[in-house]
Amino acid sequence: MPTAEQLLRDRGLRVTRPRVAVLEVLTQGGHLEVDEITRQVRERLDSVSTQGVYDVLGALSRAGLARRIEPAGSPARFEARVGDNHHHLVCRSCGAIEDVDCVVGERPCLDPTAGHGFEVDEAEVTFWGLCPSCRQARRSERVA
């Protein structure tokens, strides 16, 4: 697995401590809000501003090393899983997010009935529902 430094170089980005730290946080997995990314980066570096983290996330996203997802009604989240056109399942209650694989490696896994002349290279789908914990809590509330 390439290092964060190598991934940055391969995409033509300067290797800086904040970029390395943010990329390392993202590659640990999950769908992280900027505040959580900033908290984890600050554990690695002496100091970094929230704006600095936003700037790094923007550069990583433009370079294809990070993906920004924005479920309706939720703050933006970022992940390092890119390039496979996967989708997301979001809990309406707690906001938990899980990846949903589609046809991994082939894009898009959905085709619009009317392409309107576009060359489609990605489909973004968000499934909404209740996670197992929230479903259980809801059942418990009904019984009580």
- Which of these CATH numbers, 1.10.10.10, 2.40.50.1020, 1.10.357.20, 3.30.565.10, describes 1-81? 1.10.10.10
Q: Where are the domains of the chain?
A: 1-81, 83-144
CATH architecture classification, 83-144? 2-Layer Sandwich (3.30)
pLDDT above 90 for 129: yes
Question: Within a 10 A sphere around the Cβ of 74, how many other Cβ atoms?
Answer: 13
Note whether 81 and 65 are within 8 A (CB).
Answer: no
pLDDT above 90 for 6: yes
The enclosing H or E element of 43 equals helix 34-44
Q: pLDDT tens digits, residue range 71-97?
A: 988 899 999 999 888 899 999 999 999
Task: Identify which has the larger pLDDT, 80 or 113.
Answer: 80
CA distance 105 to 34: 28
CA distance 68 to 82: 10
